[in-house]
Chain A
């Protein structure tokens, strides 16, 4: 038995650079595997996507089944080929047009969806500027609905500031927010991409779940600091049952409320107008129920913005567009209007007539071309909602009633089952 070796490393760094390279590779691989795993989990599966309604009798023509709507959602995804980071390089009108197309635009609630209390979330919508917040490459940018830049600032979002561990260009975030001037806070109303992973194809249920668990973790909800100029905050999201609706409608919030937002739990993030996210308001929960002019005065008559089509037809921004009337060619030429222009009209009192929920006749007067900053015409639901507000508004009591009746119906079903 020979004496034992006792030489220790002398004047050498403890870790060789080769070992460091090996370790860094392993860390990268591990992280990438975790990311790939998460990404796979993010993708909505058959289980997590829409379920057909239990009772097929409730489907009527004016009320497309959620299944059909789901098909529409699927089609919308393809439009998102262009990467948001490349889009940041777009300028002027192009940028505006691109960004304007990326947001999900809730329709206005003009009738109450079935299964409101089962399939929907509700939250009190903060008053402020609707915007996209994009963090990438060490900076955070917010853009308004029309694409114009609101702020450029460092934030604690992944890749949102130039500090430790945020250097990867793969990692970027897109949040759907409302910027609340009063407390200079971004209220996050939806999560579109997180740390490089798209959530477009995920259900709202999943997006909110992830939003809740991820945002706080990053420190984005902390008070502002050098590398985090604006605070982010999450409005409380409730299940749309009696208690949830009551809480969102009456509970005081840290922000000024502007109506209620409803999200269908099973819907993906669909850009453009969607009936699977809805907005509703009344005077109790919003200062701006009826449209006002630039001085804040309520207009005598309802105004609508419509898009001028090639054949002179006036349409809404919906897909497919809803026609509200027609301008004659002579008038168009005389006024120097062009196809695609957005035009403002006033609606005479009781000027909209409906049969079976479809527009029969619209009595509208041309006012002028619309403000250039606008990207889109009004949606059908917006016009309808404004019309209803002036004549027969959908009231909070109606919403509560719908939830109660649905609960009663459920109970009856259960009782019947028990009786079997």
Chain B
């Protein structure tokens, strides 16, 4: 076989598809028949310097794919499969891999280094292959350059794959020493230096202790800064990437180096190649990200201050940083607005300027205004555009007081420019800037309104006219209209300033959606989004007009459902996108019209037809369209309440299909939410469909393919169903309760180290508790409550454990103490003695009673009342 393998691997890359297919089939059979021997021959192929590089590369790639996969469940399978191979096979493969790192063929080395990292990612957490790092580093100084490069690259991949707690500090020190030495100017080989610099980027996550040590940190920083001056552009770029990563991971350690870094970045922004300059700007954007977060925490009332102090780097650098960024704004590329993937120095600079404004707030205004004034009327479009962009960038951050007068005087200039400026780029940025003005300086929270009776006619007129401009400009005009409408969302009066323009705005937006070029620059999406916001912010006055819009949008949706067979896959994709937008639009209208009795009863006349259309949307294959159709049906169910029951004979199967959509888990998640909507809408009329729904929900919970974020809502959904069908939930108890108990036990102890895991654990707990709450309340007053008694000790134990863990958030506390009340309320004196034995009914209850959070307090007061009743007999 060994001889054959080379040929098969080469054939698998043949241009002749029949040869290729045959080869792939042989590989598959080989793998299925004898996995160890298959893996062994691949690693043999990879390590054999006499083989062609093409077959060696593919051998490495197949090996890599045999160790890891994107999908979580597949990944777990592969890990288990590797771990269960016999030791001698594994050790043979591993030594072949390590041997390949010394190969003269660069591509073989590079492939091998990735496979080594994958094996390490599996084995190191299981305390296997402990000698790996020592072996890699054992004689690195004696190695020829190409081996040294491969070793450093391997360390880089390894740090990327393995989590920091798996490697002990002693080994981390060794890795960092080797990497930093590889970056040092004493190293003459550029390939080695590049590999070392890139490896450092990944190793930074392991360097917590080293960054706390002044000497070690000084040394690392010096080497990184020196590397930014390397004559080799790739090394400079990689070094700046390290600086960017350091800015976010070690912000609090940067003080001693920041002025040097400023000089380095300023020089790079001014004169270096674009890839390097972009990273240099990104450094300051990252600094701003950090400071915005810290200052936000300073500002919030609960924590008082942040763990990390703010060093105000952006503020201190301001007088030099801002001019540097303003300069970049003048380096626009032609037509960058039409190119979705564009990213250049002026875009990066402008984005950074916006972040600086959010960081330093008022202080930026006097530094930017002169630039705006000087350039806004220049004959060169680059200057006008840069001035407008600069102005738009500083609208978020500074206090409205600082901006209102400026904006007031600039508003009519911009409105004029949007129509008359000869340059599309300038118009695009002007419309965007107007949108920012409306987003940040218009609305109920702004004291001095910049939009008034005198200027609103012109504003509307200009925006509607601009919506007929080229797609990228029209799209920004739609965006501006979106924020204009949003500013009236919280309006306190029954009449909105937009009322008299409502008809005209809606017609213009509909006209945009029908433009032939509406597919460009996401113009159609922007128009429907603006329409949604205009409807959302409308008042009862325009209810009748929104009503008229319903059949129109229904007709559009109907049209998308015709002739689906003739479409190309590209056209079908667009069609599905449109269906999603139209469902979204109807969702907004249903919510609007459903909130007022007057319009609700009229629009519900359309309900049957609407539902018919939504069900047809499920015929498409697009996840987005399914999701939107589900969402709008949820809104309809809420608006119709018990009348919605008539659609269930047809609709329930789509619920079940949605619940089986593991792949597009968003669809599954939304469907779970809609099951809740339907439960509340039709209550016990959902009973005939519960078997199907519960079956799917239980399957979802036991699946390891489904994204974990869907599981907490499924538990909550159990509660919704139980509350709707009351004691009829009896037959699901024997399935649901063990699942709840199992999940409860797992969720008590947060082995969680990171914030994401803590947040997820709390979501899970909340879902479980909501399920218990719904089940207890559902059985209230039923003669079958005694069925619940056997579960009480576990529920109380869960509550006690949660209390003792001391890491619940407010939401969980509220739900948990509520469950205690529900249990007492439904079971009464039967559960009295058990409740009295629990810690929860004393300490936990008292803590909640004195909580500052009024929802927690409310639940606790209620629980106290119910418990008082249950134990007073």
A contact set with B: CB distance below 8 Å: 1, 3-4, 6-8, 10-11, 13, 16-18, 21-22, 24-26, 28-29, 32-33, 36-37, 40-41, 43, 45-48, 85, 137-138, 162-164, 167-169, 205-206, 209, 213, 217, 227
What is the bound-complex CA distance between A45 and B723, given in angstroms? Answer: 14
* B840 at the binding interface (Cβ < 8 Å): no
A227 surroundings in chain B (CB, below 8 A): 492
15 contacts between A and B (CB under 8 A): A1-B198, A4-B201, A11-B428, A11-B432, A17-B528, A17-B529, A21-B584, A24-B591, A25-B587, A32-B680, A43-B780, A45-B826, A138-B494, A169-B595, A209-B861
Given contacts A1-B198, A13-B479, A162-B493, contact A169 B824 (CB under 8 A): no
Q: Other than the known A13-B483, A18-B628, A45-B828, what 20 A-B pairs have Cβ atoms closer than 8 Å?
A: A1-B157, A1-B198, A6-B279, A17-B482, A21-B587, A33-B719, A33-B770, A37-B773, A37-B818, A40-B777, A41-B825, A41-B862, A43-B780, A46-B828, A48-B825, A137-B597, A138-B494, A167-B595, A209-B865, A213-B858
* B578 at the binding interface (Cβ < 8 Å): no
A-contact 0/1 string along B340-359, CB 8 Å cutoff: 00010001101100000000
- Which A residue's beta carbon lies closest to that of B522? A12
Q: Are B432 and A41 in contact (CB under 8 A)?
A: no
A-contact 0/1 string along B791-824, CB 8 Å cutoff: 0000000000000000000000000001001101
What is the bound-complex CA distance between A168 and B244, given in angstroms? Answer: 48
What is the bound-complex CA distance between A47 and B435, given in angstroms? Answer: 58
A209 surroundings in chain B (CB, below 8 A): 861, 865
Q: Are A8 and B680 in contact (CB under 8 A)?
A: no
Interface locus among B81-89, B98-106, B607-615, B630-638: B630-638
B670 surroundings in chain A (CB, below 8 A): 22, 25
- Which of A25, A43, A164 has the most B CB atoms < 10 Å from its CB? A25
- Smallest distance from the beta carbon of B626 to chain A beta carbons, Å? 13
Given contacts A13-B479, A36-B680, A40-B780, contact A29 B493 (CB under 8 A): no
What is the bound-complex CA distance between A217 and B587, given in angstroms? Answer: 32
* B748 at the binding interface (Cβ < 8 Å): no
A138 surroundings in chain B (CB, below 8 A): 494
B285 surroundings in chain A (CB, below 8 A): 8
What is the bound-complex CA distance between A4 and B239, given in angstroms? Answer: 12
- Smallest distance from the beta carbon of A222 to chain B beta carbons, Å? 16
Q: Are B237 and A46 in contact (CB under 8 A)?
A: no
Q: Are B773 and A85 in contact (CB under 8 A)?
A: no
B821 surroundings in chain A (CB, below 8 A): 41
* B278 at the binding interface (Cβ < 8 Å): yes
Q: Are B634 and A25 in contact (CB under 8 A)?
A: yes
What is the bound-complex CA distance between A26 and B627, given in angstroms? Answer: 13
What is the bound-complex CA distance between A194 and B487, given in angstroms? Answer: 30
Q: Are A137 and B818 in contact (CB under 8 A)?
A: no
- Which of A17, A32, A37 has the most B CB atoms < 10 Å from its CB? A17
* B716 at the binding interface (Cβ < 8 Å): yes
Q: Which of B351, B532, B720, B858 contacts A33 (CB 8 A)?
A: B720
Q: Which of A6, A17, A29, A43 contacts B677 (CB 8 A)?
A: A29
A8 surroundings in chain B (CB, below 8 A): 285, 348, 351
Interface residues in B845-873 by Cβ distance below 8 A to A read 854, 858, 861-862, 865-866, 869-870
Q: Are A47 and B825 in contact (CB under 8 A)?
A: yes
- Smallest distance from the beta carbon of A412 to chain B beta carbons, Å? 21
A46 surroundings in chain B (CB, below 8 A): 780-781, 828
- Smallest distance from the beta carbon of A401 to chain B beta carbons, Å? 27
Interface residues in B414-468 by Cβ distance below 8 A to A read 428-429, 432, 435, 439, 444
Q: Are A21 and B773 in contact (CB under 8 A)?
A: no
Interface residues in B534-563 by Cβ distance below 8 A to A read none
Q: Are A163 and B492 in contact (CB under 8 A)?
A: yes
Q: Are B673 and A25 in contact (CB under 8 A)?
A: yes
A-contact 0/1 string along B632-653, CB 8 Å cutoff: 0011001000000000000000
* B700 at the binding interface (Cβ < 8 Å): no
Q: Which of A16, A37, A47, A85 contacts B869 (CB 8 A)?
A: A47
B719 surroundings in chain A (CB, below 8 A): 33
* B146 at the binding interface (Cβ < 8 Å): no
Q: Are B597 and A169 in contact (CB under 8 A)?
A: yes
A4 surroundings in chain B (CB, below 8 A): 201, 241
A-contact 0/1 string along B766-803, CB 8 Å cutoff: 00001001100110110000000000000000000000
Q: Are B595 and A45 in contact (CB under 8 A)?
A: no
What is the bound-complex CA distance between A280 and B335, given in angstroms? Answer: 85
B727 surroundings in chain A (CB, below 8 A): none
* B588 at the binding interface (Cβ < 8 Å): yes
Task: State the 9 A-B residue pairs at the shortest beta-carbon distance, nearest first.
Answer: A17-B529, A47-B828, A40-B777, A7-B343, A1-B198, A47-B869, A163-B492, A164-B490, A45-B780
Q: Are B869 and A48 in contact (CB under 8 A)?
A: yes
A-contact 0/1 string along B747-772, CB 8 Å cutoff: 00000000000000000000000100
B52 surroundings in chain A (CB, below 8 A): none
What is the bound-complex CA distance between A167 and B593, given in angstroms? Answer: 11
B677 surroundings in chain A (CB, below 8 A): 29, 32
A137 surroundings in chain B (CB, below 8 A): 596-597
Q: Are A29 and B673 in contact (CB under 8 A)?
A: yes
* B524 at the binding interface (Cβ < 8 Å): no
B638 surroundings in chain A (CB, below 8 A): 28, 32
Given contacts A29-B634, A36-B723, contact A6 B680 (CB under 8 A): no
A37 surroundings in chain B (CB, below 8 A): 723, 770, 773-774, 777, 818
- Which A residue's beta carbon lies closest to that of B433? A11
* B676 at the binding interface (Cβ < 8 Å): yes
What is the bound-complex CA distance between A33 and B597, given in angstroms? Answer: 22
Q: Are B676 and A33 in contact (CB under 8 A)?
A: yes
B275 surroundings in chain A (CB, below 8 A): 3
Interface residues in B265-285 by Cβ distance below 8 A to A read 275, 278-279, 282, 285
A217 surroundings in chain B (CB, below 8 A): 854
A-contact 0/1 string along B664-677, CB 8 Å cutoff: 00000010010011
Q: Are A10 and B781 in contact (CB under 8 A)?
A: no
Q: Are B238 and A3 in contact (CB under 8 A)?
A: yes
- Which of A7, A13, A21, A37 has the most B CB atoms < 10 Å from its CB? A21
B94 surroundings in chain A (CB, below 8 A): none
- Which A residue's beta carbon lies closest to that of B780? A45
Given contacts A6-B278, A11-B476, A169-B597, contact A22 B723 (CB under 8 A): no
Q: Are B631 and A21 in contact (CB under 8 A)?
A: yes
* B90 at the binding interface (Cβ < 8 Å): no
B282 surroundings in chain A (CB, below 8 A): 6
* B513 at the binding interface (Cβ < 8 Å): no
What is the bound-complex CA distance between A11 and B473, given in angstroms? Answer: 12
Given contacts A1-B198, A162-B492, contact A25 B351 (CB under 8 A): no
Given contacts A41-B862, A217-B854, contact A168 B595 (CB under 8 A): yes
- Which of A4, A164, A168 has the most B CB atoms < 10 Å from its CB? A4
- Which B residue's beta carbon lies closest to that of A163? B492
Q: Are B597 and A85 in contact (CB under 8 A)?
A: yes
Q: Are A45 and B157 in contact (CB under 8 A)?
A: no
What is the bound-complex CA distance between A138 and B493, given in angstroms? Answer: 10
* B656 at the binding interface (Cβ < 8 Å): no
- Which of A3, A168, A206 has the most B CB atoms < 10 Å from its CB? A3
Given contacts A162-B494, A209-B865, contact A21 B595 (CB under 8 A): no
A47 surroundings in chain B (CB, below 8 A): 824-826, 828-829, 866, 869-870
Given contacts A28-B638, A40-B777, A209-B861, contact A13 B482 (CB under 8 A): yes
What is the bound-complex CA distance between A32 and B347, given in angstroms? Answer: 44
What is the bound-complex CA distance between A398 and B646, given in angstroms? Answer: 61
- Which of A24, A47, A217 has the most B CB atoms < 10 Å from its CB? A47
What is the bound-complex CA distance between A66 and B275, given in angstroms? Answer: 85
Given contacts A21-B532, A21-B631, A162-B494, contact A1 B156 (CB under 8 A): yes
- Which A residue's beta carbon lies closest to that of B238? A3
- Which A residue's beta carbon lies closest to that of B494? A162
- Smallest distance from the beta carbon of A211 to chain B beta carbons, Å? 12
- Smallest distance from the beta carbon of A62 to chain B beta carbons, Å? 29
- Smallest distance from the beta carbon of B199 to chain A beta carbons, Å? 8
